A and B are shown apart, each in its own frame.
Chain A
Amino acid sequence: MRVVFKKSYDPDIDLHEHGWSRGKIVVLLGIMILLPFFVGEYYLAEAANTLIWALAGMGLMIAVGHTGQVSLGHAAFLAIGAYTDAALMNVGMPFWVALPAAGIVAGVFGAVIAIPAVRMSGIYLAIATLAVFVIVEELVILLEPITGGVGGIMAPTITFFGISFDRYGELENFYWLTLGIVALVTWGYANLMRSPTGRSFLAVRDSEVSARALGINVTRTKSLAFGLSSGVTGLAGALMGHYIGFFNYELFSIFISINLLLVVTIGGLGFIQGAFLGAILITGMPQVIAILRDNLNASTGIDIGSIPGLDTMLFSVILILFIIFEPTGLYGRWLKIRTWFEIFPLARRDMFRRQKSYLKTERMK
């Protein structure tokens, strides 16, 4: 077990308590930066896709994982981000204006939606956000001059300082751009969570009544969280648009919303790391299934590719298993494994047993 000798409050305020964990992040970032030199075009594109999903997952994590607001409508914010970015670039705005604008438009839209919606919670909020999603989908079709309607829209090639970040032409550049944006957002997110704002999110999630008693304006906090959540998802949407290249409203289906929820739930609710683990699982699973299918077909002649809906079924099974056996998600499981090693041989089976909380009879919402 690591004991950190502290001489001031700063190690507790810092993102990392000690140099070792800071070093791990640096190494990870280094590997990610050097990735284009090690993997081929196909896997690099997959890595970029995973990063985009992780970004969208972080967006949803702010709402679901850290403020306790379930949203089934986050595909709408992806769409708003993607269309805002593409539309602005199509009228000649540079990417560095269009991308933040996409985030801001999606964020402001989310915050405005949230003001009436945050009065609801749980399943009711989920249904309300689903309604928002349906409205946005219709709007996308109706606003044909901007969105291209049913036909779709082209996301222009990103260029600045004369360098192309085209997803097909200059994949490495596009990957590095995505990585940079994801790293920046992750840093901001982690900062937020160690500041008073992040603490007020957690307070609202765990007990609204005592959050109020501490002077936290619950409605404002929830709208801020939902707005930030939508904004980050909007950024992911803009990148997703560039990644796909040409898209219409069908890209942002309800299944994207559900997959995003899977990302945060399987990844680990309430952990930024969870968004990344969930994104790796959700984007990696189809690849693993495809490889398995090919191998199985080649070696035994059994063609599981002919079974319709296999991916979806596997996802569902994984989700159910997680909810039953590991509600804290992949990251929660990792924490348990790590603790087991750190305090070896003192770990006990019931150390992580969830405690039932009694005396919650008089909860006031």
Chain B
Amino acid sequence: MSLLQVKDLAIHFGGVKAVDGVSFAVEPGEVFAIIGPNGAGKSTIFNLISRIYEPTRGTIHFDGKDITGLKAHDIARLGIARTFQNIELFDHSTVLANLLMGRHTHSTTNFVQNMLFMPKVRQAERAHRKRVEEVIAFLELEAYRKKMIAGLPYGVRKVVEIGRALAIGPKLILLDEPASGLSVEESQDVAFWIEDMRRDMGLTVLMVEHDMSLVTQVSDRVLAVANGRPLAMGTAHEVQADPQVQAAYLGTPGEEAA
């Protein structure tokens, strides 16, 4: 059974059909990429899955459960984590605090217990820290633990955001342009991490990415969208060879003349 199943998803903002009838299914353990030119509706699909937007039409099933009616804050608990295209970290906190915030869905103590800082709270804090340290070791963030986000270079922030998503302990991770703005070496790191997430952590990855070399390297299947509509689905090479996809990226020959 598919881990994530999107059926006939659509969202219209007034007359603008940002996403219009997109269907796909992501299998467990798969790396699935969505590509498309700017404004194709890729990030909108992400925002629909993470329930920030209300779809006009269509359904989203995760793990056999319909999540279309859930609230945005219910999604993480089910095991869906995400990153944002324009880094959305908590700027005035340290890297460690940001990662610990990713453990929110696992906290079981209420605010009164927290205020008294009962032994139970301390035990939970130790357990959270242990999990977060695993993420720090995985992403090699040791040097930045106590650094404020506001002073960190762009590349590190990108990695911290992936770390915060991993700290949730998800089954499915949505990466919104994980390699945008990164150097060649940094995006190579991202490629290795995605491989490891799948192989060692058993994660399923759904990503939006423009960097075709990264997409080709890590993804099993690729969905190309343009103007909110699906164009082609298949392996990276198949999709790149598709004439419709090429037309969407490069324009149709003779278009200028017409």
- How many residues on the B side are at the interface (Cβ–Cβ under 8 A)? 49
Interface positions of B from 57 to 99, Cβ below 8 Å from A = 71-77, 81-82, 84-93, 96-97
Knowing A188-B116, A213-B82, A214-B168 are in contact, say whether A203-B90 is a contact too (CB < 8 A).
yes
Question: In the complex, what residue of chain B is closest to A217 when comparing beta carbons?
Answer: B73
Assess the B122–A215 pair: CB atoms within 8 A: no
A11 CB, min distance to chain B CBs, angstroms: 11
Confirm or deny: A81 has a beta carbon within 8 angstroms of a beta carbon on chain B.
no
Q: How far is the CA of A118 from the CA of B117 in the complex (A)?
A: 27
Q: Count A-B contacts at CB 8 Å.
A: 127
Cα distance A173–B82 when bound, in Å?
55
B114 & A198 in contact (Cβ 8 Å cutoff): yes
Q: What does the 1/0 interface line of A176-193 toward B look like (CB < 8 Å)?
A: 000000000000110110
Complex CA distance for A361 and B88, rounded to whole angstroms: 11
Asked if B109 CB lies within 8 Å of chain A CBs, one says: yes
Could you say which residues of chain A place their CB within 8 Å of the CB of B71? Answer: 217
Please tell me which stretch of B124-132, B206-214, B221-229, B230-238 contacts chain A, meaning at least 4 of its Cβ atoms lie within 8 angstroms of it: B124-132
Is A164 at the interface (CB under 8 A from chain B)?
A: no
Indicate whether A207 sits within 8 Å of B85 (C-beta atoms), given known contacts A9-B130, A196-B104, A199-B101. no
Q: Which residues of B contact A215 (CB under 8 A)?
A: 73-77, 104-105, 168
Structural contact, B90 and A9, CB atoms closer than 8 A: no
Whether A364 pairs with B73 at a CB distance below 8 angstroms is: no
Q: A355 to B75, Cβ gap below 8 A? A: no
A236 at the interface (CB under 8 A from B): no
Given that A209-B52, A361-B86 are contacting pairs, would A355 and B151 also be in contact in the complex, using a CB cutoff of 8 Å?
Answer: yes
Q: List CB contacts (< 8 Å) of B100-120 with chain A.
A: 100-105, 107, 109, 111, 114-117
Q: Does B248 contact A (CB under 8 A)?
A: no
Whether A212 sits at the interface, judged by CB under 8 Å, is: yes
Residue in B81, B82, B125, B164 whose CB lies within 8 Å of A195: B125
Known: A215-B168, A217-B73. A199 touches B97 (CB 8 A): yes
Contacts of B52 in A (CB 8 A): 209, 212, 364
Partner of B126, one of A9, A196, A202: A9
A357 at the interface (CB under 8 A from B): yes
In the complex, are the beta carbons of A210 and B92 less than 8 A apart?
no
A216 with B92: in contact, given A188-B116, A191-B117, A197-B111 (CB under 8 Å)?
no
Q: A191-B116, A197-B111, A206-B90 are in contact. Are A214 and B130 (CB under 8 A)?
A: no
Given A202-B97, A206-B91, also A359-B168 (CB < 8 A) = no
Whether A213 pairs with B72 at a CB distance below 8 angstroms is yes
The reply on B50 being an interface residue by CB < 8 A is: yes
CA distance A362 to B84 in the complex (A): 10
Answer whether residue B201 sits at the interface, using C-beta atoms and an 8 A cutoff.
no
Interface assignment of A360: CB less than 8 Å from any CB of chain B: yes
Residues from 254 to 306 in A contacting B, C-beta threshold 8 Å: 270
Is A200 interfacial (CB-CB < 8 Å)?
A: yes
B182: CB under 8 A from chain A? no
Asked if A195 and B101 make an inter-chain contact with CB atoms under 8 angstroms apart, the answer reads no
CB of B156 within 8 A of chain A?
A: no
A209 engages B93 (CB within 8 Å): no
Q: Tell me the complex Cα distance, A197–B118, Å.
A: 14
Q: Is A16 an interface residue (CB 8 A)?
A: no
Verify B114–A192 contact, CB threshold 8 A. yes
Query: Could you tell me the distance in whole angstroms from the C-beta of B91 to the nearest C-beta in chain A?
Result: 6
Closest chain A CB from B99 CB (angstroms) = 10
Besides the known contacts A196-B114, A198-B114, A199-B97, 7 further A-B residue pairs in the complex with CB atoms under 8 A apart = A196-B107, A196-B124, A200-B104, A210-B90, A211-B101, A212-B50, A214-B164
Closest 9 CB pairs of A and B: A215-B76, A195-B114, A196-B107, A206-B90, A215-B105, A210-B88, A191-B117, A212-B72, A359-B86
Q: Which residues of A contact B (CB under 8 A)?
A: 9-10, 12-13, 188-189, 191-192, 194-200, 202-203, 205-207, 209-218, 224, 228, 270, 354-355, 357, 359-362, 364
